[in-house]
Every structure is written in C-alpha cells, then in structure tokens.
C-alpha cells in the first residue's frame, strides 16, 4: 500500500505523452514499493498507443487483487468485476461487440485459481480476447497466502512449511487447450512484453501473456526476495528466452539453477469463437 | 424469409410456460443469452439456442451458472439486453453476481424455475423455496425486483415486464417461476406489437467531460456502453459518482441509499397483484405462483360452501406489495399464506398484517391440491 501522508511537493517529471491514458487523479496508486504492476501498466499503455486500434475501442476488464486495480488506473472503458470472473465478463462483452478490443488484466489467483474454470473454457472456445495474467506467485492483497501458482516448497502466510502443492505450468496448459497465442515475459523484459501485447491485439482468438512480476513486500518477504533488486537479479540470472521451448519444461520452480523460460511460445492462426458463431448464424438462416 | 426468422406473431397459442418465457424475452429485445443446463429450466435454454441465432442474436452455453450470469453482465455493459435462466442450485451460484449487477447498475434478467429442494432436492418436482433467497441472497444492502407468474400467460407477460423494469431501474430482475408453471402448457395470447410496452435503458449522450456515471442527481443515472467513447470505469467496490473506489462515508451513504431507494421509492409502480373476493372476506389467502391456481379453486369451493373467503395473488413478490395485504388484514379476521415451502412469504405478510397470520405449507414437491388448501381455510374459519 502507498504511504499515507506522503506529500510530493515538487513536480518530478514532465507530462508524459501517454498521460491521457492514465487516470492520474486516482494516484498515488495502491501498489507497494518494488511491485511490478506499474511496469505492466506502462507496457499496456505503450502497446495501446502503438496499436492501430482506436483507443475508444479498447476495453480493459480486471478481477480482484492487486492486479485487479489496473482497470481503475487506465483511462479506457474499464470494468472491475468479481473475484475470478473477468474472463466470463469479457466473453459476454466480446460476443455482442466483436469490434471492441477486449483485454483482461488480472492476477494469477484471480484468473487461474478461483477463476480457473472460465480460463480453460474461454481458451477452448477461442474467444477473441487478450488475457494478460500477472503472476506474482501469491495472493498479495489479502496477505500473502499461497495459490495455484505458488512454486512447490515456497513459503507464504498459509504455507509456513513450504507450499505442499505443485503449481500450474500456465504456458503448457494454455497451449494444450489450443490457444493461438501464448507468451511469457517478466516485468524486466519491458520491450518484449509491450511487443507481445501488441501482437496479442492482432491475434484472432484467445491470446495469453503470463507476466512474471515481483512482489518483494509479499511473496518476496517469505522467500528471500525482499527487495525489487533481488527480483531483477533473479530475472537476470535465471531467465532464458526460447520461443520454441518445450513447454513441458516451462514450469517455474524458483529453485537455484532451474531457469524461468520466456518467449512468444505459440503463434498460430485458427478459427475463433466469432467464426464458429457466424457458421451458426448461417445454419440458422440469419446469414446467407 | 421463413416465419421462424421472426418474433412470435401476435395471436393465440397453446404453449409451454418455459417456451413462452423464451419467446417473451425475444420480443422484449433480449440480444444475449448465457446459461448452464439445469432441470427444470432447460426448455428456455434449448429454445433460445434455436431461436436466438435465427434472429442474429447470441446464445452461449457457459461452463457454469457463475460464468453464465457474469457473461450476461458483460453483454449488458456493452449495452444490450441480456438474460439467463436456471433453477435452485444454479440460482445459488449466481448470488454473488446478482450483487455485482446491483452495484454496477447493469440491467439483467434472471429466470429461476424453482424446483423442490434444498440442495439437489428433486430436480423434476416443484418448489417455492427461493422466495427469501431471491430477495436476500447476495451480501450487503441492495434491492431488486422479483416477479412470480402462476400461468403461461403471466410467465410471458412478466418476462417482458422483467426486462422493462431492469432497463428502467438498471437493476437485476428475477422472474421466480416454478417447475409446474415452467412445464405446463396453456393458453398464450401475444398482443399486437404496438400494444406491448418495451422499455430501453436511458442513455447518456451529453458532453464527455461532464459525464458522471453514478450521478446522484436522479435515482437512476443514464447509461453509457463500452465503446461509446466515455472511458467509463465501473467497479464492484463502493464508489463515488465518478465510479471511482471511495472510502468516504458520504460517498458510501449516497450510493447505498440510491441503490435501495430507486426500488423502494418506486414500490407502488412495481407492485402487481390480483384479488379475488377479498373485499368482504373473513379469511384472505395470500399466495403466488402455481399455488395461486390451487388456491383459486379452493376459494371458489369455499364460497360455494358459504364461507367468506378471498385471496390475493401476488405477481410481484419483492418489493413486497404491502398495501393490498395490509388493507386486507384490516377487514379480515385472519390471513393465510399458501406456499410450497415451510414458510417464507409469510414473514413479510406478518410484518404488515394487522390480524393474525397462519401458513398453509406444502413442501413435498407437488403443487398443493385444492382440497389441501380448503382444509387450511376451513380450519382458519
């Protein structure tokens, strides 16, 4: 959380050309020092500015949690819905308004733990939405409880003896479900991340980017990553970029010597839910 | 163009309740249906899956009832009328999102074809056990409208009314049907279209810099859809008039007050009910849904026996139609509340009644036979 009573008297930076995409009146934001979410927000805004899609057609939908607050800081049509449900909300919106560029930005706990069912089914249907899943390995906002992405053995407020469950390997899961675009980057890889986001806007169908993001105040405080720079060191020393990696080996353990594999793993063309629905409209007689 | 590619034409039909409900939704302008299979509501989804694509509208079968109602809200946020249909277990799963609908002020219609319960209960049998859940099921303070049909025609009429009310007040509206009304075949008269009132949510099209999505100027703020260019923010967090999260007591108070008052202050416009022999009755039976059909027969037989008995059939359950019940209780010696549960609607009746109130309860999975209600009436007289 931001520090109460902190008054910034001087104007530190000049206006940014992206300011019109940020609800600055809502700052200071709630994110902790060292958090990666500001970087995710910046990359998203850069990708929107660089996309050929009009800003008014971009919609962002978030669930609950630290990442869920992104919807509130972006000056776009933005919806902050119930815990685990932004993908289902996005599906309803995209199906009735295929012209909108609908992006879900939410956390790991929100999207693949409580919301896991919607995640797998939206990919199976290949609904044309973008999901930017920020993975910090923990439930930050509620006080650092373990989740379905917490590495085996990692500590948290509800895994004092080490997480007793293996985590999801999300790129493998999404690829197995048939997603046409699957990528993973960290908040250190800002250019690659913004580029992947731009690609995701262009993808026909479901595009997933897993974004590995630091949480020094939460996850890090339990797992020897107490400073933002500890995460940067972790990313610098352990990340391997391999676009054609074997996704069976892409699980994240955070154990020394075991890499975090990054890349734009899957890029393929396939029919989306919208194409399937047009076929239904033809069979029903609505379309010729 | 084949006749299938149109709305149901004005005329007289013999139709199943659930199908009449689906056709009513099409006439009301429903553009998006999301649902999950559950007995005894399935005919609504099945019919919609065939009919919606014929009209270029959207049907999706979701992975569960939570996904269904959330997708409905996503479509509503995009500016279209949207609905789902379910029964008890699915209705339970939808509760959290009914609160989100109320909080974001995204209109939606939920059909609950009640079955015998609790839990899995008897899926193919009838119940009326969702009366209190429909009103109080989601956490926190909010209000919504619940209608209850007792016949095919009423299921049709109240489904259109549900869309109209949800669009007018920007609230979730529940049509609390039941297995018997859903599955019964009955007479349906579809009026000429120009005689059917259709309400669409009020849209804002003023200057962008002056738009307050949750303005307290009126009880119901005007709506903008995703893609309209207003850069709206909606959140389930308690919010100020801009839609931004707020911890200020004043913002919270203004918001909650408005969410509740937009229903309460319009209660009298929302109450729908019918009375039979209630003017001179010593005993008045208050009832709804399929139980009202049995009660009507029982009341007629009681009158034939010379008993001064009347009834009030509630078509609106929430906000509870206080005035007709209160007035009846000022003349009658006793009110009876007939329902297929162990006593739910009896509570708001007791709250307003000025005479003793007793229940006629029949929680066995069947509509109570008229004799059962007549026995209850005789005991009260």
A285 to chain B: closest CA residue: B54
β-strands A260-267, A239-241: how paired? parallel
Length of chain B, in residues: 381
Of B237, B192, B197, B196, nearest to B214 (Cα)? B237
Cα-flanking dihedrals φ and ψ of residue B172, to 5°? -75, 140
Domains of chain B: 3-195 (3.40.50.970), 275-380 (3.40.50.920)
Name every chain B residue with its beta carbon within 8 A of the beta carbon of A285.
1-2, 4-5, 54
Whole-number Å distance between alpha carbons of B92 and B118: 11
In chain B, whose CA is at the least distance from the CA of A91?
A: B71
Q: Which of A45, A87, A96 would you mutate first to test chain B, the one with the most B CBs within 10 A? A: A96
Asked if B78 lies within 8 A of A85 by C-beta distance, the reply is: no
Domains, chain A, with CATH or none: 31-283 (3.40.50.970)
CB A184, CB A261: distance < 8 Å: yes
Question: B14 Cβ partners below 8 Å, 6+ apart?
Answer: B185, B186, B187, B188
- The token pair at B65 is 């009832």
Nearest CA in chain B to A273: B60
B213 contacts B243 by C-beta, under 8 angstroms? yes
| Burial grade of B272 (CB within 10 A; 0-12, 13-18, 19 or more) | middle
Closest Cβ–Cβ partner in B62, B100, B227 for A56: B227
Return the pLDDT at B1.
45
Cβ atoms of A102 and A93 closer than 8 Å: yes
Encode pLDDT of A120-131 as tens digits: 999 999 999 999
Confidence at residue B28, expressed as pLDDT on a 0 to 100 scale: 98
pLDDT in tens, A186-207: 999 999 999 999 999 999 999 9
Structure tokens, B63:
């992975």
Q: Return d(Cα B137, Cα A133) in angstroms, integer.
A: 31
In this predicted model, what pLDDT tens digit does every residue of B31-72 receive, in sequence order? 999 999 999 999 999 999 999 999 999 999 999 999 999 999
Residue B176 near residue B146, CB atoms below 8 Å: yes
pLDDT above 70 for A1: no
Q: Is the pLDDT of residue A2 over 70?
A: no
What's the CA gap between A100 and A95, in Å, rounded?
A: 10
* Inter-chain CB proximity B77 and A89 less than 8 Å: yes
What SS3 state is found at A17?
A: coil
Nearest by CB to A89, which of B60, B71, B80? B71
Rounded Cα distance between B82 and B127, Å, is 26
Chain A residues whose C-beta sits inside 8 Å of any chain B C-beta: 23, 25-26, 56-57, 59, 61, 71-72, 75-82, 85, 88-97, 99-100, 117-118, 120-121, 277, 280-281, 283-287
Q: Rounded to 10 degrees, what is the CA torsion of B317, B318, B323, B328?
A: 20
User: Which portions of chain B are predicted below pLDDT 70?
Assistant: 1-4
Question: What CA–CA distance (Å, rounded) separates B111 from B130?
Answer: 12
Position B4 scores a pLDDT of 64
Cβ-based contacts of A79 with chain B (< 8 Å): 74, 77, 104, 226, 233-235
Question: Which residue in the set A61, A72, A284 is minimally distant from B244, CB to CB?
Answer: A72
Q: Looking at A16-30, A66-80, A268-282, B268-282, which range is the least confident one? A: A16-30
Q: What is the pLDDT of residues A96-148, one digit of tens each?
A: 999 999 999 999 999 999 999 999 999 999 999 999 999 999 999 999 999 99
Q: What is the pLDDT of residue A154?
A: 98
Which of B67, B78, B233 minimises the CB distance to A72?
Answer: B233
How big is the A-B interface in CB pairs under 8 Å? 143
What is the reported pLDDT for A229?
95
Give the pLDDT of residue B363.
87
């Amino acid at each position: 959380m931001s520090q109460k009573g902190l008054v910034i008297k001087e104007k530190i930076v000049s206006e940014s050309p992206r300011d019109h995409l940020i609800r600055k009146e809502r700052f200071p934001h709630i994110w902790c020092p060292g958090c990666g979410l500001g970087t995710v927000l910046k990359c998203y805004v850069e990708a929107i500015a660089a996309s050929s899609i009009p800003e008014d057609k971009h919609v962002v939908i978030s669930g609950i949690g630290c990442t869920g607050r992104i919807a509130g800081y972006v000056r776009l049509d933005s919806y902050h819905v119930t815990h685990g449900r932004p993908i289902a909300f996005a599906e309803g919106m995209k199906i009735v308004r295929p012209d909108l560029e609908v992006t879900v930005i939410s956390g790991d706990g929100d999207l693949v733990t409580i919301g896991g069912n919607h995640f797998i089914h939206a990919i199976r249907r290949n609904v044309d939405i973008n999901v930017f899943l920020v993975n910090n390995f923990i439930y930050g906002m509620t006080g650092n409880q373990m989740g379905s992405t917490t590495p085996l053995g990692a500590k948290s407020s509800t895994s004092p003896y080490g997480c007793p469950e293996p985590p999801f390997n999300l790129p493998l899961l999404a690829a197995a479900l048939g997603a046409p675009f699957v990528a993973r980057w960290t908040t250190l890889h800002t250019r690659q991340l913004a580029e992947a986001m731009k690609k995701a806007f262009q993808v026909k169908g479901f595009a997933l980017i897993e974004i590995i993001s630091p949480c020094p105040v939460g996850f890090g405080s339990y797992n020897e990553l107490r400073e933002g720079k500890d995460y940067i060191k972790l990313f610098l020393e352990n990340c391997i970029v391999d676009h054609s990696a074997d996704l069976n080996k892409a699980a994240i353990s955070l154990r020394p010597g075991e890499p975090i594999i990054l890349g734009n793993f899957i890029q393929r063309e396939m029919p989306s839910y919208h194409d399937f629905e047009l076929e239904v409209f033809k069979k029903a007689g609505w379309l010729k | 163009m084949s006749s299938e590619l149109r709305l149901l034409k004005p005329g007289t039909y013999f139709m199943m309740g659930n199908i009449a409900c689906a056709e009513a939704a099409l006439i009301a302008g429903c553009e998006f249906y999301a649902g999950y299979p559950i007995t005894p509501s399935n005919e609504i989804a099945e019919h919609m899956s065939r009919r919606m694509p014929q009209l270029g509208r959207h049907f999706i079968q979701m992975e569960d009832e939570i996904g269904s109602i959330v997708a409905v809200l996503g479509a509503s946020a995009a500016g279209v009328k949207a609905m789902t249909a379910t029964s008890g277990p699915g209705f339970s799963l939808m509760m959290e999102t009914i609160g989100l609908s109320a909080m974001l002020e995204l209109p939606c219609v939920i059909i609950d074809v009640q079955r015998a319960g609790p839990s899995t209960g008897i899926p193919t049998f009838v119940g009326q056990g969702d009366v209190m859940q429909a009103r109080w099921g989601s956490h926190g303070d909010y209000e919504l409208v619940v209608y209850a049909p007792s016949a095919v025609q009423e299921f049709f009429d109240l489904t259109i009314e549900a869309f109209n009310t949800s669009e007018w007040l920007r609230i979730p509206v529940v049509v609390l049907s039941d297995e018997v009304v859903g599955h019964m075949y009955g007479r349906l008269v579809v009026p000429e279209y120009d005689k059917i009132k259709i309400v669409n949510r009020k849209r804002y099209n003023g200057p962008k810099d002056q738009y307050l999505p949750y303005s307290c100027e009126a009880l119901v703020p005007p709506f903008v859809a995703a893609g309209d260019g207003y850069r709206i923010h909606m959140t389930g967090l308690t919010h100020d008039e801009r839609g931004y999260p707020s911890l200020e007591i004043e913002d919270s108070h203004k918001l909650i007050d408005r969410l509740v008052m937009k229903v309460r202050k319009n209660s009298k416009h929302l109450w729908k009910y019918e009375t039979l022999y209630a003017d001179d009755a010593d005993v008045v039976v208050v009832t709804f849904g399929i139980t009202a059909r049995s009660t009507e027969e029982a009341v007629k037989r009681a009158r034939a026996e010379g008993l001064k008995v009347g009834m009030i059939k509630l078509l609106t359950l929430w906000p509870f139609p206080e005035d007709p019940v209160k007035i009846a209780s000022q003349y009658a010696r006793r009110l009876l509340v007939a329902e297929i549960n162990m006593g739910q609607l009896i509570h708001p009746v007791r709250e307003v009644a000025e005479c003793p109130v007793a229940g006629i309860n029949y929680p066995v999975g069947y509509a109570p036979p008229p004799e059962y209600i007549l026995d209850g009436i005789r005991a009260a007289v």
